[in-house]
Amino acid sequence: MKRIGVVAKVDRQEAGVVVPRLLEWCAEHGFAPVLEKETAGLCPDTGAHAVPKPELPAQADLLVVLGGDGTLLSVARLVGDLGVPILGVNLGGLGFLTALTVDELFPALEALRRDELVIEERMMLAARVSRQGERLSEYVALNDVVITKSAMSRIINLEVSVEGQFATGYRADGLIISTPTGSTAYGLSAGGPIVFPTMDAVVLTPICSHTLTNRPIVLPASLAVEVRLLSDQDVMLTLDGQVGFALKRGDAVEVRQAAARTRLLRFPQKHFFSVLRTKLKWGER
């Protein structure tokens, strides 16, 4: 592991301090840094190798992401099936995925050199949009696939099938289909369950369902879920809250477990429950 790719959320003040320090650390320990182009703008005089963001995963053995969970989500989708591990450092707010603090970055890199970090594999979702039998687009997501009405739309009607069998219909503001990783994101705020992040499962959580008996449900990740839009109004499909696609009446969104998996690095002692206690104040009155 000699090439370290670096992506930073450049509008964070801390990024301008941490990135030069990281380049110094790489030089001292014989690692070759590869910077995402915008990140390279934080230290233009270093002459470090810089590439466009989509090309970064293919040119790195490790990716260090400095920012918030949104920054890490965008990188995870780019990694795809390359399997490059990601070390997330939180420069933002909540930070479930970017669980390391800035102060923990360099101890974590030293621990990595000693092979003391744990790699967690997280499942991803693959979403495919079809219109009148024609495949229009395909996406992957680490957190969630969300179908939701626009700001001015009324309640939308959705029909959900699992493994080709009709499961239920929803009259709601939308539907969240999340991974266990995404269960602590949008799904949690919509009343969904917290699912241990390394499990292989899919969570369906309706958003403000018109029928109070429509509750979140957890499915095996091996099952394919199809959602068909029955309403003729403005509806969006969003992936990880970052990529969007406008749906039309009759469109079908098929969601299944992706072949690719995201590999996240963490300290052995920083397990999921310690993150829950820190981020959600679990167990506090």
The C-alpha angle with vertex 29 and arms to 26 and 34, in degrees rounded to 5, equals 25
Residue 59's SS3 state is helix
Q: Which of 137, 104, 126, 146 lies closest to 262, judged by CA? A: 126
Other beta carbons within 10 Å of 63: 27
Cα 41 from Cα 125, distance rounded (Å): 33
Radius of gyration, alpha carbons of the chain: 20
Residue 41 near residue 20 (C-beta atoms within 8 A): no
Token code pair at residue 110: 């030293």
Query: Which positions are annotated as active-site residues?
Result: 69
Torsion of CA 110, 115, 120, 126, to 10 degrees: 90
Closest residue by Cα to residue 264 from 108, 31, 144: 108
CB atoms within 10 A of CB 37: 13
| SS3 label, residue 240 | coil
CA atoms lying within 13 Å on the CB side of residue 22 = 33
> How many CB atoms sit inside 10 A of residue 107's CB?
11
